[in-house]
Amino acid sequence: MRIRPLLSLPLLFAIGGCLAPPGRIDGENYPASGPPFISDQAPRIDSEATLPLQENLIHRVVLLGDAGAPMESEPVLAALTRWADVYADDTTVIFLGDNVYPAGVEEDAITEGEEILRKQIVATTADRIFVPGNHDWGRPGRGRLMRQQEYVDANGAEFIPRDGCPGPVLRTIVAPTEGGPRGISAIVFDIDPWYFNLESVGDCPGNKTPEEMADALGEMLRTHQDQWLIVGAHHPLRTGGPHGGFTRGAVGDFITGFIYLIFGTLQDTTEEQYQEIMAPVETALASSPPAIYAAGHDHNIQVLKGGDQADFQIVSGAGATVRVSDGDVTDIEGTLFAHGHAGFVVVDFVRTDEGERALLHVVETGHDAPVFSMDLGMR
């Protein structure tokens, strides 16, 4: 009598897996318990022993996502302090969404949500920009997101795009000067208003549709194409992680299959709605490709060739150790680095005799030196 339900488990797992969105990708997994994937085509450089010190630094940008479930003493945030505060006046940290797990700053758990944000904010005295992710929204309506925005604003950091609107928003990080730096700017946007805020997105100034938002993004890219540009959002264009179709494991695929059945979305790149929103964004990026497109969403670290949309694409969603926990990720076309390990990505813009260069470093917990460094080239 007790055996019969167990016999149905394989069938249930099969059904759960089939309910998940299409587009599964296969490949070897590169979890934290093993070495990362590093492509032979990656223009690697030897990371200097002096790092995180960097000679001839113009500015440092730290890209860190999905940090919204910090442990009491979070190793990722300890590493952030080390890398950001050494040049606090010349560093900008961009938190790439999912800043408060599991569902934003909830009305009956405001203290807990604000404490999660506080740990991230006090981890560095550098400039801090917080971009919203799907877990920051939590559910339809702007309430949880607005509570996060208010707390971030009140504690010396910046939350953009604002008021549950999609953006895009441009922030000058280093202004261009005659005979000086060519300039560094960040452009951020959020696609979640079209998932969670359909009733209120019409109140946003302009950009009420993905096409309108993409048009504004394209204009910003064209206007600032002579600068170093980083386009940041929570959602990636491409990823070799679960949100790109890589397996979450038998149990994970089973659970997420039923989530997809009930809610109709996991915000995976393979979903029709996701692709419809991102299609005009990709067109805008291709019109004037930035140096970097950076996102989180998947709980791993990836560096990819940028294709038509950017020089390089970065997935940096490994900001909370407990959320990574030997994260799943594989290599896909164009992957230069992939690892399911807690950490973040640092981009140093430096002066050289030939001009300005961008140097990328992957910083992982448990390592004093970067586990991967590469030259992003000169502009």
Walk across the sheet containing 356-364 and list its strands: 158-159, 127-130, 91-95, 57-64, 343-351, 356-364, 372-378
The pLDDT value recorded for residue 254 is 62
Q: What is the pLDDT of residue 2?
A: 41
Q: Parallel, antiparallel, or unpaired: how do β-strands 127-130 and 158-159 relate?
A: parallel
The pTM of the whole model exceeds 0.75? yes
Nearest alpha-carbon partner for 196 in 259, 119, 279, 104 = 104
Phi, psi of 304 (to 5 degrees): -130, 150
Sketch out the chain's domains with CATH numbers. Answer: 3-23+30-378 (3.60.21.10)
Measured distance CA(60)–CA(227) in Å, rounded: 15
Residue 49 has a pLDDT of 64
Helix, strand, coil distribution of the chain in percent, nearest 5: 30, 25, 45
The whole-number pLDDT of residue 241 equals 93
Is 32 within 8 Å of 339 (Cβ atoms)?
yes
* CA nearest neighbour of 377 among 350, 349, 358, 360: 358
Residues paired with residue 62 on neighbouring β-strands, in sequence order: 93, 346
- Rounded CA separation 177/36 (Å): 39
CA distance 35 to 338: 9
Residues in Cβ contact with 128 at an 8 Å cutoff, skipping those fewer than 6 apart = 92, 93, 95, 120, 121, 156, 157, 158
Query: CA angle 82-113-244, nearest 5°?
Result: 75
The DSSP output letter for 21 is P
Q: Where are the alpha helices (DSSP H) in 99-154?
A: 110-121, 134-137, 143-154
pLDDT of residue 223: 96
Q: Which helix (H) or strand (E) holds 221?
A: helix 210-223
What is the full per-residue pLDDT of the chain (379 aa) written as tens digits? 344 444 454 544 444 444 555 667 889 999 999 999 999 989 888 766 678 999 999 999 999 999 999 999 999 999 999 999 999 999 999 999 999 999 999 999 999 999 999 999 999 999 999 999 999 998 888 899 999 999 999 999 999 999 999 999 999 999 998 777 899 999 999 999 998 877 667 778 777 899 999 999 999 999 999 999 999 999 999 999 998 887 766 666 666 665 655 555 677 888 889 999 999 999 999 999 999 999 999 999 999 999 999 999 999 999 999 999 767 999 999 999 999 999 999 999 999 988 899 999 999 999 989 999 999 988 7
8 Å CB contact between 68 and 99: yes
